[in-house]
Structure 1
Amino acid sequence: MSHYKPYPVYKDSGVEWLGQVPGHWAVSPLKYVVTFRSGGTPSKDKQEFWDGDIPWASAKDLKKEQLEDTQDHLTELAVTSGAASLVPAGSVLVVVRGMILARIFPVAEAMVPMAINQDLKALHASSKLDGRFLAHLLRGLADESLCRLEEAGHGTKALRMEAWTSMQLTIPPSEEQCAILSHLDRETVRIDALVEKKARFIELLREKRQALITHAVTKGLDPNVKMKDSGVEWLGEVPEHWAVCKLSFRYSVELGKMLDEKKLTKTSLVPYLRNQDVQWGAINIQNLPEMDIHPAEIERYTVMDGDLMVCEGGDVGRAAIWRGESSVFGYQKALHRLRPRLQNTDTAEFFFFSLLTAKKRGVFEESDSKATIAHLPAEKFRQYRFAFPPKREQREIADHVRIESDSLDVLLTKTARSIALLKERRSALITAAVTGQIDLREAT
């Protein structure tokens, strides 16, 4: 913000957290410069109220600053019957109740008339405030709004309405509001374009990373090698000297122990891994729960260095390699433990990248049933066919992929950080503009 100049004259706002404001600006509680409209949810039992053409906004829709449509819709009957009411275009929508308030304070402008649910409020600015300036003002004061939260039922966050509506707002003269909005429009559009460009670059880097992995584990590193048809659709042609066979021929696939909390003896307790502890390429070992694994079960239900842990449910096929903790760790039935049948035949590092490729190509989707949670049963998993180079080549491929991926990951991290900094700059600019920390009356 160093290239922006401050106002020539400031005064004490009388509000500790707000501090100094431009000398000619007014300060007023929110409730004195806006009116509020509440929303609701029409009966879900009345299908005639739903799936119409009228947008019905809830917290999940407030991911954009300008809201033209919503995920859910109501019928005209829902409105004419009084089960719902419309707020006009230009309304400023905020979330006043929900777990999203634990992280952010969403603010959106309704670009068309729409209904809202009970977790939102629609604000209509008085003649003292431009509606769009009000939206930016609430975004700029998001942290202050979040200071006025309380716990509702089941840990849900909710705004304490009396405290929130008493929050002091800065009110510039109307012509200054227009000047501030004009400058913010230019700068936020510019920043958003940069963010979008960098986000697309991240997508391209991820695509390049996956293409690198896919080619390496299906075609190898030698561009001149003779190829053969693998007989497996997702693999296509593979190097002629590679083996193509069922997973069970190369790896033992074992599910973990079923947890039975009623039978905990507390005499043979060991920490155990759950599905949620295994993410792509990483395993959590902090604050793990414990289960009984008796001495006779240790070999069957514990992990050792180099084991590949694969999710049986949820995000099926998600995998990571266990890296030799000295302590004993078990694993629950929601995980498969893969271990090479012959120590000198296969490496988990190579097969991890094969699993990543299979997952990206939708190989395990056929295992998904219509059940709420997808599953990859062990007997099914063992039948899938994969390509296996000689072990020395597996190591070369894994090393190559790791080195190339690491260099791409450096770029990914740098780009993600630059996006975060741009978003921080955008937020800081809005806050500084709407609270009078910078003078934008003649800014270019």
Structure 2
Amino acid sequence: MFPNGEEKLPTIRFNSFVETWKQDDFGKVIKLVGGATPLKENKEYWIGDIVWLSSQEIKNKYISKGTYTISEKAVRDNRTKVVPLGTPLIVTRSGILAKRFPISISSNEVAINQDIKALMFDPTKIDTEFIVAQIKAKESYILNNIVKTGTTVQSVNLPDLNRMVLNIPEHEEQVKIGEFFRQLDKVIELKEQELEALKQTKKGFLQKMFV
């Protein structure tokens, strides 16, 4: 890792950008906000229309729906938080952390439980798609150096995460990079849908040919 504030250049970048990239600690540019689980026994908490997410639902890059919804009263009475559309969400406590580091972007306002942290930052300084792509690029480092193992359920060591070094170019370049990876993800999603459709077609032929 490089000292905070040191400038560094990537090995590949868009031709129109020449400024060096600066480095800073994750915790200096991003604030982590956690949530909570409203009391299950209180039915008034679970009759609203606010999407409430748990760690199992942080799977795809974008997320807009969850298994449960909660009420405004649940938000007022509990420590759960409602975060804005476009907020990156990471899983900080779950068995899945033994294999991967889930991160999603909310497609609408959502409430989160205690095993999720929302990433809050100044959107004029940090681009959402860019920072999500960079965190995904650091997944192996996070799993090997920041996720705590040896316990029943894996969890993210938040002080270590806050010390993780991020590479930060000018905002305009961030937007360009973020859009590049957003388009790649869109192509991958379309190809995956085509592959699933082809699998279903094959399944149909197998069932009809081998009765």
- Band the TM-score falls in, shorter-chain normalisation: 0.7 to 0.9
1:281-292 equivalence runs, <5 A: none
Per the TM alignment, residue 56 of structure 1 is displaced from its structure 2 partner at its CA by 0.6
Residue 157 of structure 1 corresponds to: 154
Question: In the alignment, which of 166, 171, 183 is matched to residue 168 of structure 2?
Answer: 171
For residues 192 and 85 of structure 1, the distance between their equivalents in structure 2, rounded to whole angstroms, comes to 30
5+ residue gaps in structure 1? 1-12, 216-444
Is the counterpart of residue 21 in structure 1 residue 9 in structure 2? Answer: yes
Question: In the alignment, which of 76, 83, 86 is matched to residue 82 of structure 2?
Answer: 86
For residues 173 and 83 of structure 1, the distance between their equivalents in structure 2, rounded to whole angstroms, comes to 35
- Which secondary structure state, in structure 2, belongs to the residue aligned with residue 52 of structure 1? coil
Is the counterpart of residue 141 in structure 1 residue 138 in structure 2? Answer: yes
- Please, which moves more after superposition, 121-130 or 37-46? 121-130
> 2:174 corresponds to which letter in structure 1?
Q
- Which secondary structure state, in structure 1, belongs to the residue aligned with residue 69 of structure 2? strand
Equivalent pair of 1:51/1:72 in contact (CA under 8 Å): no
Equivalent pair of 2:37/2:113 in contact (CA under 8 Å): yes
1:221-236 equivalence runs, <5 A: none
Per the TM alignment, residue 182 of structure 1 is displaced from its structure 2 partner at its CA by 2.3
Can you list the C-alpha shifts for 1:74-111, whole angstroms capped at 9, x where unaligned? Answer: 11210132453312222210000001111211111112
From the CA coordinates, give the structure whose radius of gyration is larger.
Answer: 1
Residue 38 of structure 1 corresponds to: 34
For residues 207 and 50 of structure 1, the distance between their equivalents in structure 2, rounded to whole angstroms, comes to 40
Give the root-mean-square deviation of aligned CA atoms: 1.9
For residues 183 and 35 of structure 2, the distance between their equivalents in structure 1, rounded to whole angstroms, comes to 33
5+ residue gaps in structure 2? 11-18
Give TM-score scaled by structure 1 length. 0.42
For residues 54 and 94 of structure 2, the distance between their equivalents in structure 1, rounded to whole angstroms, comes to 10
Question: In the alignment, which of 173, 178, 193 is matched to residue 181 of structure 1?
Answer: 178
Per the TM alignment, residue 40 of structure 1 is displaced from its structure 2 partner at its CA by 0.7
- Which secondary structure state, in structure 1, belongs to the residue aligned with residue 36 of structure 2? coil
- Which secondary structure state, in structure 1, belongs to the residue aligned with residue 135 of structure 2? helix
Equivalent pair of 1:28/1:168 in contact (CA under 8 Å): yes
Is the counterpart of residue 191 in structure 1 residue 188 in structure 2? Answer: yes
Equivalent pair of 1:152/1:158 in contact (CA under 8 Å): no
Equivalent pair of 2:52/2:68 in contact (CA under 8 Å): yes
Per the TM alignment, residue 193 of structure 1 is displaced from its structure 2 partner at its CA by 1.4
Can you list the C-alpha shifts for 1:372-422, whole angstroms capped at 9, x where unaligned? Answer: xxxxxxxxxxxxxxxxxxxxxxxxxxxxxxxxxxxxxxxxxxxxxxxxxxx
1:277-316 equivalence runs, <5 A: none
Residue 55 of structure 1 corresponds to: 51
Q: Highest relative contact order (Cα 8 Å, sep 6+), 1 or 2?
A: 2
Equivalent pair of 1:92/1:131 in contact (CA under 8 Å): yes
Per the TM alignment, residue 14 of structure 1 is displaced from its structure 2 partner at its CA by 2.3
Is the counterpart of residue 98 in structure 1 residue 94 in structure 2? Answer: yes
Per the TM alignment, residue 152 of structure 1 is displaced from its structure 2 partner at its CA by 6.7
Residue 14 of structure 2 corresponds to: none
Residue 113 of structure 2 corresponds to: 117
For residues 128 and 142 of structure 2, the distance between their equivalents in structure 1, rounded to whole angstroms, comes to 18
- Which 4+ stretches in 1 moved above 3 angstroms? 20-23
> 2:36 corresponds to which letter in structure 1?
G
> 1:193 corresponds to which letter in structure 2?
L
- Which secondary structure state, in structure 1, belongs to the residue aligned with residue 9 of structure 2? strand
- Which secondary structure state, in structure 1, belongs to the residue aligned with residue 203 of structure 2? helix
Equivalent pair of 2:128/2:178 in contact (CA under 8 Å): no
> 1:112 corresponds to which letter in structure 2?
N
- Aligned residue pairs total 197
Can you list the C-alpha shifts for 1:316-355, whole angstroms capped at 9, x where unaligned? Answer: xxxxxxxxxxxxxxxxxxxxxxxxxxxxxxxxxxxxxxxx
Give TM-score scaled by structure 2 length. 0.85
